[in-house]
Amino acid sequence: MANESKFTPDWTEKPPAKNSYRSVFKWGSPSEFKHPSNEWYHMLKEEFGLTDKNFKKPQFEGNEKVSLDQKITLSPKTIKGFEEIVGKKNTAVDDYSRVRYSHGKTVDEAIDLRHRIIRHAPDLVLHPKNKKDVQKIVALCHDQKIPLYVYGGGSSVTWGLSTPQGGVMLVMSTHMNKLLSINELNQTAVVQPGMLGPAYEQALNDAPKLYNTTHAYTCGHFPQSFEYSSVGGWVVTLGSGQASTYYGDAYDIVFSQEYVTPAGSFKTLEYPGTATGPKLNDIMKGSEGAFGVLVEVTMKIFRHMPGNRQRFAYMFPSWRNAVNASREMIQSEFGKPAVFRISDAEETEVGLKLFGIHGTPVDTVVTLRGYKPMKRCLCMGTCEGEKGYAKHVKEQIAKVCKKYGAMSLTGFTAGLWEKTRFKEPYMREDLMDYGIIIDTVESGVTWDNLQRLHEGVRKYIKSRPQTICMTHASHFYPQGTNLYFIFIMKMVDLKEYRKFHDGIIEAILKNGGSISHHHGVGKLFSKFMDGHLGQEQMTVLRALKRHFDPHNIMCPGGHLGLDL
Amino acid sequence: MANESKFTPDWTEKPPAKNSYRSVFKWGSPSEFKHPSNEWYHMLKEEFGLTDKNFKKPQFEGNEKVSLDQKITLSPKTIKGFEEIVGKKNTAVDDYSRVRYSHGKTVDEAIDLRHRIIRHAPDLVLHPKNKKDVQKIVALCHDQKIPLYVYGGGSSVTWGLSTPQGGVMLVMSTHMNKLLSINELNQTAVVQPGMLGPAYEQALNDAPKLYNTTHAYTCGHFPQSFEYSSVGGWVVTLGSGQASTYYGDAYDIVFSQEYVTPAGSFKTLEYPGTATGPKLNDIMKGSEGAFGVLVEVTMKIFRHMPGNRQRFAYMFPSWRNAVNASREMIQSEFGKPAVFRISDAEETEVGLKLFGIHGTPVDTVVTLRGYKPMKRCLCMGTCEGEKGYAKHVKEQIAKVCKKYGAMSLTGFTAGLWEKTRFKEPYMREDLMDYGIIIDTVESGVTWDNLQRLHEGVRKYIKSRPQTICMTHASHFYPQGTNLYFIFIMKMVDLKEYRKFHDGIIEAILKNGGSISHHHGVGKLFSKFMDGHLGQEQMTVLRALKRHFDPHNIMCPGGHLGLDL
């Protein structure tokens, strides 16, 4: 290879400067990093026709201090009113707070911020201490028709946190971030919505010590954003964790919710099953803050039995075989794996490079046994639950894999993936520093439409020269799965990028996928909602919106496509 | 025993007279019967202080021909308009049709009909042929503000089919009763809402022959009303089948729905998972016809593997042990049983009498081994799914049962129950013929509240002299279960009965149960809805109602408590 030099880019290991643009768009912990492997570096150069020279100097790093030239339009008296509710130290009007708490992790936002572009900001950032604060804030905003937005963990990739109409931003993760109680009999936990994944999971794991429970527990929900997403965010944006095939999506693991809306406050019924009309608990899920503020949520929890975890990995000869085997597994009723993923041919190659397996003796053996590059497909996962159950599921998976010509790679590969599974988002900053975009879209799809969606969306993405497109399926249901498309390309301007991205969504729609499997809608997909759901169904959501929020103060400006 | 005579009542074996009141209220097939066992007969006499004399002559059998003195208020021109839509032979204005299709199986209705009391009747009964018919009917009713009611299988026990405002009754089961297609890749079936359980299940079982599928399928939903309830009814009233612990409630097995509402027609999205806002598919479930007419439903289906079924039955030393063991089973994550039931002490005794086990050597052995009458509790069930899975679940259940001191009764008892499980409702007519009422209420409840609910409701029911109260739990979730109360008492007048029944619901509410686990709301529980859900949540349902049905033509008159 022409690119086999010894040069490695000087990937940043520096935390972003204080109050800088970079500190807003950088993923995760300021001092944590995950750099592309050497194999990846070579791949990027080759794919994009770049040389080491292109990786000598990072660009648009965004280390400048945030400055904002948008005036605060709320009157000092109004601001004072909010201050009286939450206290002075929980009220912020500084530029940095206004920018930080109105941006998530959408690629568009990172491109903007690297160029010091701030499209919108709230007038005021509030850190409510409790439900009462939220009730007073919502009432005040409703009375005075002040837009009100909600910020959880900040990991939205759908412009979910942007504030096109200014007003007030409510930050739930500052104070409302505690596990309030565990009900061991019912296997439920009462959680404040601003609690982030790791703190929640740790508290559940440590429940015997902290809450005097008999068993240790797990939340069962581990999205890639786990470390920087909030429990409330999981619920209101309909997230899916990496082990959702076993534990269910966020939708499935919510027992009840408590909301503050302009039309009043309520807590949904707390029954494991009930036949008393349409369920408010479900009507509110996925409302993304547009109906009101989630102030408390009771989640279903699960026994924490990490010792029972079984890992597996297989190489399939083809994507078709991997898909057919997956379908057979999930429909056979022998139980369900927890994590389960199949990568298409391109992702398999890129993945082998990412994990450092590419070019090793393992790779050689796999290739020699007939699993050809750009045909073979990687599958990996875990089985959880009671020991015998996990073992049985793993054995049955092995049988189906064998039937479809797959070769076992042992659980070691799955172990590698597990170790770094929350770290991949960190690579985004490294790549963008050198003018490369990595982004993802994901779509829910039935089995009968999976191949068409895969081919159709890949065809669109690959029709653009010099674009890497990796695809995997990672959330399995008897009726179908999701396709998660990761694409990598050289930097383009935001307008061009948006056009390309919209084209992907159009390709998804044309080929029968849903416009989002687990990232939500936010404002990014708003314009597609009417077409996707149809007028009759959108008017139902709008009727609910009018009921809960007659003055349209809750996250106005395109959220969920409700007020377009 | 004083009652040990050889006399057996002459339980009716006669099909009801044609067009009689009895033919309306009698459960199930006209020519099918299930009579109380001799043990039961003795129990009833003893409990209620009756003698053989009381069982010599049946009362109020309702064999008179139905006659109705309620005028048709719709104009001949309007009726003609409907006739033009569905055709003359699908339009009925005769007394019998008007009565038959506006009555379900609520005990109140049976008491009324036995006394030839008809409280309400529709003006017109229509049997739509297809979706287009329904669209035209809904449009016409909406335009002319004519009340429109919907009849599926006719098994409602909540006054769900009554027509307090007259108008039009739509009978879905006459023509719209077919399995339209099976999508084997997606494991879904497109079904017309009026299809009854047995026809649906048979078509799925025979799918390899009828639809050329690779596998045979099952619907997974077997409520006690299975033989005379419709697929659409399961969905809109939130039913639960006897194997719901494994297959899920009706709520869980609906993939998508198509509705005709006064505000328009739509089909909900068809994705196994999607994150595009609140889900219309869930908003419509449980709407009981008050938002619109369900005209087609896509159900999830399951592999039919009856050869893998494992049966088990245990006797626990106490209700507390049975409950604690059940909770441990459902929370241990070793997989789930399909049917799973535990009976409390009173139901256990009555059940042993029903199955003819009481007083046999088996009973003697069980008693000798320390499982005392009025303490011991019967548990039984089945395991389904893949062979190894079913076996594993059964083995784990055995372990937990042993831990809680239960004695195995072998799978034979569960087999006995299985054989007659859809037949019990037939006994109602026999009992009522001799002045005895049998009725049920059921409630969803969390584990932490189960004992309180059981004790509280039993206390209320048993505070009435000479009242049998049997209780079981039969739908299990990690967060709780249901309690199903069956009570038997001597006939009282309807007013007194209603007062007693309302008292049970009040006892349920006071003790933290839901007012219905799987029978729905209908008009029977309407008045409790505001208190149960709270004003804030009821106004949400009412906002939806206003959106879908601005003229309040869909099932008006108290349904779901929406227009009280």
Q: What is the CATH number of domain A306-421?
A: 3.30.70.3450
In this prediction, residue A564 carries a pLDDT of: 82
CA distances from A147 to A74, A233, A235, B32, B197 (A): 11, 19, 22, 65, 51
Q: Which residues of B335-373 are buried (b: 16+ CB within 10 A; e: fewer)?
A: bbbbbbbbbbbbbbbbbbbbbebbeeeebeebeeeebee
In this prediction, residue B4 carries a pLDDT of: 57
Q: Which residues of B45-80 are buried (b: 16+ CB within 10 A; e: fewer)?
A: bebbebeeebbeebebbbbeebeeeeebebeeebbe
> What interface predicted TM-score (ipTM) does this complex get?
0.96
Q: Does B252 touch chain A (CB under 8 A)?
A: no
Distant-in-sequence, close-in-space partners of A414: CB < 8 Å, separation ≥ 6: A311, A312, A313, A339, A380, A381, A382
- Fold classification of B425-524 is GMP Synthetase; Chain A, domain 3 (3.30.300)
In this prediction, residue B410 carries a pLDDT of: 83
The residue-averaged pLDDT of A85-103 equals 98
pLDDT digit string, tens, across residues B423-471: 999 999 999 999 999 999 999 999 999 999 999 999 999 999 999 999 9
In this prediction, residue A417 carries a pLDDT of: 84
The residue-averaged pLDDT of A283-309 equals 98
Q: Which CATH number fits domain A76-174: 1.10.260.40, 3.60.21.10, 3.30.43.10, 3.30.56.10?
A: 3.30.43.10
**pLDDT class for A2, splitting at 50, 70, 90?**
very low
Closest Cβ–Cβ partner in B268, B273, B388 for A475: B273
Q: What is the residue-wise DSSP string for A49-106?
A: T--GGGGSS------SBP---PPP-S-HHHHHHHHHHH-GGGEE-SHHHHHHTT--S-
Q: Specify the domain boundaries for CATH 3.30.70.3450 within chain A.
A: 306-421
Record: contact A186-B480, CB cut-off 8 A: yes
pLDDT over 60 at A3, yes or no? no
The pLDDT mean for chain A works out to: 96
Q: Specify the domain boundaries for CATH 1.10.45 within chain A.
A: 525-564
Cβ contacts (< 8 Å) between B446 and chain A: which residues? 183, 185-186, 270-272
In this prediction, residue B359 carries a pLDDT of: 82
- How close, in Å, is residue B444 to chain A by CA atoms? 5
- Fold classification of A525-564 is Vanillyl-alcohol Oxidase; Chain A, domain 4 (1.10.45)
pLDDT digit string, tens, across residues A138-171: 999 999 999 999 999 999 999 999 999 999 999 9
Cβ contacts (< 8 Å) between A265 and chain B: which residues? 536
- How close, in Å, is residue A17 to chain B by CA atoms? 35
Q: What is the CATH number of domain A179-303?
A: 3.30.465.10
Residue A191: strand pairing partners: A179, A297
Most A CBs within 10 A among B479, B547, B563, hence the mutation to make, goes to B479
Q: Specify the domain boundaries for CATH 3.30.43.10 within chain A.
A: 76-174
**pLDDT class for A4, splitting at 50, 70, 90?**
low
* Contact pairs from chain A to chain B, CB under 8 Å: 289
In this prediction, residue B2 carries a pLDDT of: 45
In this prediction, residue B3 carries a pLDDT of: 45
Three-state secondary structure call for residue A556: coil
Record: contact B271-A534, CB cut-off 8 A: no
Nearest partner of B555 among B173, B292, B194, judged by Cα: B292
User: For A237, which residue in chain B has the nearest alpha carbon?
Assistant: B275
- How close, in Å, is residue B274 to chain A by CA atoms? 4
Record: contact A392-B396, CB cut-off 8 A: no
Q: Specify the domain boundaries for CATH 3.30.465.10 within chain B.
A: 179-303
User: For B549, which residue in chain A has the nearest alpha carbon?
Assistant: A540
Distant-in-sequence, close-in-space partners of A79: CB < 8 Å, separation ≥ 6: A72, A91, A93, A123, A124
In this prediction, residue B36 carries a pLDDT of: 93
**Structural contact between residues A8 and A38, judged by C-beta atoms closer than 8 angstroms:** yes
Q: What is the CATH number of domain B307-421?
A: 3.30.70.3450
Closest Cβ–Cβ partner in A276, A333, A543 for B547: A543
List of chain B residues with pLDDT < 70: 1-4
pLDDT over 50 at A1, yes or no? no
